[in-house]
Chain A
């Protein structure tokens, strides 16, 4: 079982998990931005979002590049097959990613409210669309809709029950993660009213997403039998862990313990993703190509593991340091721009809205 191909596949899937959690929280903040209301009413929430994801969003999205590179290098034929089949959702997801990143940066330095509104709407809308289409891609792979030789039907490969459900789940988990993170951020900054609003949002989104996840199991039984079999056997404990994590998060949010809720939320989302991975093991393209069949050259697989090892040693600590800094009191104080704090770095929002 512990072959080189398996190790590369595991490293690849670890990237998918990290992207789902970190990139997901990032995308999800767009959902909350979109639904924050008018410029005045939503200013506090949007300010918080700007502060929370500002330093980390670029790093969070490198996970996607990591996943793509690992995929095409480790399992090149299956990558080409997916690309020639799923190009419609891929292009749509890509447009979302491009618009979102660009307009987030533009909004931050926008001069007028009109500009900020335009960039803000583009940012928020594309933040919802991108995870939806990425989710449909996952669903298409998991339900065996990508033929090994590629060139599958560009529409029916993803406009089908399982992909559409996974798309919805993807949007939901992103919004749930972001809601939980933002609630904790708001509470830590002492913005009680904002934290209260976000708490309610997260509870609603979390409950709805949980319901969709389990509702999705109904069509999956017939639509994706291989995945279903995996989910109900091997992956059953992982799915149960996800359910427990979700329920625990809702309970923690309900009782106002926002800090620990972040960890249970991450557990819930990572577990549902892991459930997908374990469920479709050993297929790369379900019913079409297994990990062993799809694997590229052995020397390349070994090279990839070296790259992953170096990444773990070099990128890991750096990423940890970034996250540590963004959570540290010093970085959060300065963001308040309280007279004494160096106005230099503070990104202006809070001062305007009295945060």
Chain B
């Protein structure tokens, strides 16, 4: 059964309560719950990207180190392992927050549909379990396991990243295109959990997010080394540290616009209200809809948009039919239009910029010019991680806000899913802002200090609990352990010394 049928049934079944709920003001718990979910999900998803994509990137670097006996690559892989330990730790706890919040913030959803949408979460939990286990083995296995076996421990992490992403996206796809159940007399019946796990809409959503994870992780890691190169650290360590994640980001950035386009195919039938918001279509045009770049909707009028004729219909619907406008949507079912539209186009704009940047790099490299010598390109790469994160967040805002006012499209309103406990929720939200702010600050301080000590030549980060200053205590013998400085005959000894300063 599809969403429209469900919509009709749900409205029939729960007609009067829905109508009254609409007439009444939104429950006081709705707004703080939304803010809370946006904060915690938006924060977690950045770390989830690293959880999904970082292992594969580390694997390639580590493999290179072992295959070619490349100390620089091994050294990078080891450092990245330690960085990922910090990122995975805060990713794991922020993920735990989300599983609590599913119930704390959305008891209406979980109480009614918990057994419909739960199975994908069970498999996601399973995947995360394996990831946590093999992360522990990999991180503590340096120097304690045979090198090849040790390297193999990364593989399960990369695979579980795929499975975990798929499962979470299965739930989100189900929220967009609900399936696997019927509503009879207001009761949820005939539940088919496997139909939810393997629902047809999941694959494209999964592909879009999975590729996005590689863009976020790839560009973010490459950005670190781009900054290093901008500061004159142009040794092999930086070049390699840039190129491997950049290669991943390249493939992802080139593929992403196409994946996203395919995901959008058929949106006019699945969620016409979301498409109308994406395209800023207040009314259904008489002919083909133009592409409206930028602009906002003020009192029913589109203001400030650059319009390109025909293109809106062609891109979003592959036809010359007009984009169905908001005039075809009942008022109470309209999503917040402007935020959806602007977020959607922010995502696309950044995505296209990053695609153009990587395409230009490889084109010029083919013409034997290396853009890594160009400071402007390096500057762009230095912010590429932030840009990729912005694009990913904007994409999530577009799809989530665009689904409103539904939490399960056409079936359950977000206001019906929220809890009654309300005013206290603002307090919890305030606390969460502090908590996440604190965690962000802690991660930044610790990661920067790790980088600083690595630059200073510490291969192994010493104990903070020692009686003396850690670096001094380890002495020069420790500094010689660092891979960079043991790279003879490459002509970058000077650079390495520069690096150490």
Chain A residues within CB distance 8 Å of chain B? 39-40, 43, 46-47, 54-56, 58-59, 61-62, 64-66, 68-70, 72-77, 79-84, 87, 90-91, 94-95, 97-113, 115-116, 119, 150-151, 154, 296-297, 299-301, 303-304, 307, 310-311, 314-315, 318-319, 321-322, 325-326, 330-331, 334, 341-353
Chosen A-B contacts, 21 in total, with CB atoms closer than 8 Å, are: A55-B136, A68-B103, A69-B125, A73-B118, A76-B111, A79-B111, A84-B420, A111-B464, A112-B464, A115-B446, A119-B442, A297-B115, A299-B191, A303-B197, A307-B123, A310-B123, A315-B126, A325-B141, A342-B143, A349-B465, A350-B463
Q: A65-B96, A154-B421, A344-B459 are in contact. List 8 more A-B contacts (CB 8 A).
A: A61-B96, A72-B110, A77-B114, A79-B103, A83-B103, A83-B104, A348-B460, A349-B466
Q: Which of B121, B445, B473 contacts A115 (CB 8 A)?
A: B445
Cα A31 to Cα B158 in complex, Å, equals 35
Cα A87 to Cα B160 in complex, Å, equals 31
Residue B462 at the A interface, CB < 8 A? Answer: yes
One of B78-86, B346-354, B374-382 at the interface: B78-86
By a CB distance below 8 angstroms, the chain A residues around B449 are: 109-111, 115
Are B465 and A113 within 8 A (Cβ)? yes
By a CB distance below 8 angstroms, the chain B residues around A319 are: 129, 133
Are B463 and A74 within 8 A (Cβ)? no
Cα A81 to Cα B108 in complex, Å, equals 10
One of B13-21, B87-95, B209-217, B276-284 at the interface: B87-95
Are B463 and A47 within 8 A (Cβ)? yes
Residue B366 at the A interface, CB < 8 A? Answer: no
Q: Which of A68, A73, A103, A311 contacts B115 (CB 8 A)?
A: A73
Q: Which of A59, A84, A334, A347 contacts B107 (CB 8 A)?
A: A84
Q: How far is the CB of B224 from chain A (nearest CB, A)?
A: 16
Residue B221 at the A interface, CB < 8 A? Answer: no
Residue B122 at the A interface, CB < 8 A? Answer: yes
Residue B428 at the A interface, CB < 8 A? Answer: yes
Are A318 and B103 within 8 A (Cβ)? no
By a CB distance below 8 angstroms, the chain B residues around A350 are: 463
By a CB distance below 8 angstroms, the chain A residues around B99 are: 64-65, 68-69
Chain B residues numbered 233-269 whose CB sits less than 8 Å from any CB in chain A: none
Interface majority SS (helix, strand, loop, mixed), chain A: helix
> When A47-B463, A321-B137 are in contact, do A83 and B446 touch as well, CB less than 8 Å?
no
Q: Which 4 A-B pairs have the closest CB atoms?
A: A73-B118, A76-B114, A296-B115, A352-B466
Cα A100 to Cα B97 in complex, Å, equals 13
Contact with A along B112-130 (1 / 0, CB 8 A): 1111101101111110111
Are B111 and A98 within 8 A (Cβ)? no
> When A80-B108, A83-B110, A102-B442 are in contact, do A345 and B192 touch as well, CB less than 8 Å?
no
Q: How far is the CB of B33 from chain A (nearest CB, A)?
A: 12
| Number of chain B interface residues as a range | 35 or more
Cα A202 to Cα B282 in complex, Å, equals 70
Q: Which of A46, A61, A70, A84 contacts B465 (CB 8 A)?
A: A46
Are B143 and A334 within 8 A (Cβ)? yes
Q: Which of B93, B114, B470 contacts A73 (CB 8 A)?
A: B114
Are A72 and B103 within 8 A (Cβ)? yes
Contact with A along B388-402 (1 / 0, CB 8 A): 000000000000000
Are B133 and A345 within 8 A (Cβ)? no
By a CB distance below 8 angstroms, the chain B residues around A304 are: 118-119, 122
Are B459 and A326 within 8 A (Cβ)? no
By a CB distance below 8 angstroms, the chain B residues around A97 are: 93, 96
Taking CB as reference atom, which chain B residue is nearest A70? B122
Residue B461 at the A interface, CB < 8 A? Answer: yes
Q: How far is the CB of B306 from chain A (nearest CB, A)?
A: 44
Residue B431 at the A interface, CB < 8 A? Answer: yes
> When A62-B128, A304-B118, A322-B136 are in contact, do A68 and B446 touch as well, CB less than 8 Å?
no
Taking CB as reference atom, which chain A residue is nearest B89? A105
Taking CB as reference atom, which chain A residue is nearest B188? A297
By a CB distance below 8 angstroms, the chain A residues around B34 are: none
By a CB distance below 8 angstroms, the chain A residues around B143 are: 334, 341-346
Residue B134 at the A interface, CB < 8 A? Answer: yes
By a CB distance below 8 angstroms, the chain A residues around B129 are: 59, 62, 66, 311, 315, 319
Q: Which of A80, A310, A326 contacts B110 (CB 8 A)?
A: A80
Cα A109 to Cα B458 in complex, Å, equals 12
Q: Which of A105, A342, A343, A345 contacts B86 (CB 8 A)?
A: A105
Cα A46 to Cα B473 in complex, Å, equals 19
Taking CB as reference atom, which chain B residue is nearest A352? B466
Q: Which of B102, B156, B465 contacts A116 (CB 8 A)?
A: B465
By a CB distance below 8 angstroms, the chain B residues around A101 are: 89-90, 92-93, 96
Cα A210 to Cα B94 in complex, Å, equals 34
Cα A119 to Cα B443 in complex, Å, equals 11
Q: Which of A100, A113, A315 contacts B464 (CB 8 A)?
A: A113
Are B111 and A315 within 8 A (Cβ)? no
> When A331-B140, A343-B460 are in contact, do A65 and B125 touch as well, CB less than 8 Å?
yes
Q: How far is the CB of B483 from chain A (nearest CB, A)?
A: 10
Are B94 and A43 within 8 A (Cβ)? no
